[in-house]
Amino acid sequence: MDIRKEVLKEHSKSQTLKIAAWIGNDELRFRQFLQIFLHDEYRVVQRISWVLSSVAEAHPKLVNKSIGKIIKRLDDNDIHNAVKRNIMRVLQFINISPKYYAKVYDKCINYITNPNETIAVRCFAMKVASNIADKFPELKNELAETINFSLKTATAGIKARAKKVLKKLYS
């Protein structure tokens, strides 16, 4: 399969699932996918990021092997919201290597406090930061304060996620 060609053919859930199914748990196919995700043009990366999320849900260990490179994408200045959203979604349900905790946590805090960030990115960031705070209880108060501060300008979606995360932090 020519992943790039397929992702440009159609931007739909069925196409995303088709590509993800083709990648499956195959490391060689995943590396081919990852090259496109890391190095292709803006629109292609935007579309293919949805595939990353699907592959990570089905095969988290496959994605875990390349998580450093995937996290590094968050440093790109021109990163598309869809890419950020899908990376943050992936980080919710994989085991992040301890060497990336600080970087990911800082990114999450920045996303949560940025009122211009998309709702989905902010909500996923709360969950990822909460998962990290579970490993470092000393971060729980800071995260709770950050979330409570962000509620001043929050939408219903952010408030709903914040309620769940805060409940988990205080339990």
Same domain assignment for residues 124 and 56: no
Of 63, 133, 54, the C-alpha closest to 95 is 63
User: What sign has the CA pseudo-torsion 102, 105, 109, 111?
Assistant: positive
Q: What is the pLDDT along the chain (171 residues), one digit of tens a residue?
A: 999 999 999 999 999 999 999 999 999 999 999 999 999 998 999 999 999 999 999 999 999 999 999 999 999 988 889 999 999 999 998 889 999 999 999 999 999 999 999 999 999 999 999 999 999 999 999 999 999 998 887 899 999 999 999 999 887
Listed residues 66, 95, 124: the one ending a domain = 95
Same domain assignment for residues 101 and 69: no
User: Is residue 61 packed enough to be buried (19+ CB in 10 Å), middle (13-18) or exposed (0-12)?
Assistant: exposed
- Amino acid letter, residue 170: Y
Q: What is 85-130 written as a DSSP string? A: HHHHHHHHSS---GGGHHHHHHHHHHHHH-TTS-HHHHHHHHHHHH
Give the model's pLDDT for residue 93.
85
User: Is residue 20 packed enough to be buried (19+ CB in 10 Å), middle (13-18) or exposed (0-12)?
Assistant: buried
- Domain extent, residue 13, equals 1-95
Same domain assignment for residues 76 and 12: yes
Token pair recorded at residue 106? 């800082």
Same domain assignment for residues 73 and 28: yes
- Amino acid letter, residue 19: I
Same domain assignment for residues 62 and 134: no
Same domain assignment for residues 138 and 112: yes
Same domain assignment for residues 107 and 136: yes
Same domain assignment for residues 89 and 128: no
Q: What is the domain count for the chain?
A: 2
User: What sign has the CA pseudo-torsion 50, 33, 25, 61?
Assistant: negative
Give the model's pLDDT for residue 96.
92
Same domain assignment for residues 86 and 122: no
Listed residues 95, 111, 131: the one ending a domain = 95
Model pTM above 0.85: yes
Give the model's pLDDT for residue 77.
85
Give the model's pLDDT for residue 71.
96
Same domain assignment for residues 110 and 49: no
- Give the angle 71-84-7 at the CA atoms, nearest 5°: 100
Listed residues 95, 122, 143: the one ending a domain = 95
Same domain assignment for residues 80 and 142: no
Same domain assignment for residues 130 and 112: yes
